[in-house]
Structure 1
Amino acid sequence: MAAARKLRLWMQVSLDGFVSGPNGEFDWPTYEKELNTFAVEQAADMGAMLYGRKVYEGMAAYWPDPRRYPGATELDLRYSETWKRVPKYVFSRTLTEADWNTTVVAEDVAGAVTELKEQPGGDLVLFGGGDIVSTFVRENLIDEYWLFVHPVVLGGGTPLFPTLETRLDLELVESRVFDSAVNHLRYRVR
């Protein structure tokens, strides 16, 4: 029997632990060429991309054809091709259908993720906002936390971690500082 796929959380976070600002703003992440290159390289091996509705809608508005926007780079075009090819799952009770190789999951998040983990293929990667991430954390569905800590203090907003009833013990597996001064911290759940 093949080993189960892992689920990685890929999350941008402020130095003070927030994933969005006090008014929901997400204009603070800093992406330079080195971090963009890393993201494109990592995407090539993803077995599936998982999203909450809001993040999926933002991705679906841009990635099918980034050439429509000024400043699209060769890296954007490479990521776009991967994004269109990789299966996507969006967890939403309000979205009824989605394009671009996407399946909508309306109920039983834990059951759906467990089923996906048992399928063959590359690892699953969750890109989400605070609500869906909180659900995945509380349900203990995340195997690795890939955090990208940006050099900004937001002073409030949506925290990365919800209030938990039990402690979450993690092991640092890797760290790296990118040219944009973003610190990548990769943790594995113990």
Structure 2
Amino acid sequence: MGTLSYTATVSLDGYVADADGDFQWSAPDAEVFRFHVDRMGAVAHEVLGRHTYALMEYWQNPPEGEEWGPDEQEFARRWQAIPRTLVSSTMTAADLASDTDRLVPRLDPGTLRRIVDEADGEVEIFGPTTAAEAIRAGMVSDFLFFVVPKVVGGGLRAMPPDARLDLELAEQRVFGGGTVFLHYRSR
């Protein structure tokens, strides 16, 4: 049986994308990216919405003419090995990037519970819209936030506005560029 975590890179004011939908300000520097590579070793399953799934297709194959360094290659290797569940009512099985990926039209708590129960480690739910119902239902045991020293003033919130949680700090780390990693656990 696995555990459920929610991971997000957020602005200091709590957004994963600004009011225009831009999130380029959240791109990790080399030190933060290396940390992501290392933490991917614990992830046994990914649950993503269609926007995040499309964004992460980049890691299936390097873009033509672009060469990945060792960290990018290792991240891609780990990413490709992780089974993924795509949550989308508009995409079809033909849109899946891998034979190990599966498609569900809606992520209800029962489906998510089965994914977590069948996992052999951490199930990472990635994307605030996809994670919202699980957060509200108290299903998420670990919250992993990479807080970027930037205020964007509005946009897509990292947490649902009606979520009420009691959390405890389990781990923290400050990176050289000012990004802070905060790992909280549900009480």
Calculate the TM-score normalised by the size of structure 2.
Answer: 0.91
Superposed, which structure 2 residues align to 1:72-83 within 5 Å?
72-83=68-79
**Distance (Å, rounded) in 2 between the aligned partners of 1:163 and 1:155:** 15
The equivalent of 2:87 in structure 1 is 91
Q: Which residue of the partner structure matches residue 106 of structure 2? A: 107
* Aligned equivalent of 2:2: 5
Deviates more, 1:92-101 or 1:66-75: 66-75
Q: Are 1:171 and 2:168 an aligned pair?
A: yes
Give the whole-Å Cα distance in 2 for the aligned partners of 1:93 and 1:144.
27
Letter in 2 for 1:29: S
SS of residue paired to 1:47:
strand
Percent of aligned pairs sharing the same letter = 29
Cα distance 1:69–1:138, how it changes in 2: closer, same or farther (>3 A)? Answer: farther
1:108–1:88 CA distance, 2 compared to 1 (3 A): closer
How many pairs does the alignment contain?
184
Any gaps of 5 or more consecutive residues in structure 2? none
Measured after TM superposition, the shift of residue 71 of structure 1 is 5.8
Match of 1:66 among 59, 62, 65: 62
Distance 1:69 1:14 in 2: 32
Q: CA deviation at 1:58?
A: 1.0
User: Residues 153 and 108 (structure 1 numbering): CA distance in 2 closer, same or farther, change over 3 Å?
Assistant: closer
* Whole-angstrom CA distance in 2 between matches of 1:178 and 1:69: 31
The verdict on how the C-alpha distance between 1:183 and 1:106 changes in structure 2, with shifts beyond 3 A counting, is: same
Q: How does 1:1-190 map to 2 (within 5 A)?
A: 4-60=1-57, 62-66=58-62, 68=64, 70=66, 72-97=68-93, 98-100=96-98, 101-128=100-127, 130-164=128-162, 167-190=164-187
Partners of 2:17 and 2:155 within 8 A in 1: yes
Cα 1:65–1:155, aligned 2, differ >3 Å: closer, same or farther?
A: same
Amino acid in the other structure paired with 1:10: T
Structure 1 position 108, deviation (Å): 4.6
Q: Aligned-pair distance for 1:92?
A: 1.2
What is the alpha-carbon distance in structure 1 between the residues aligned to residue 112 and residue 150 of structure 2? 32
Contact kept, 8 Å, 1:53 with 1:92, in 2: the verdict is: yes
Q: Contact (CA 8 Å) 1:91, 1:109: kept in 2 or not?
A: no
Structure 1 counterpart of 2:69, one-letter code? T
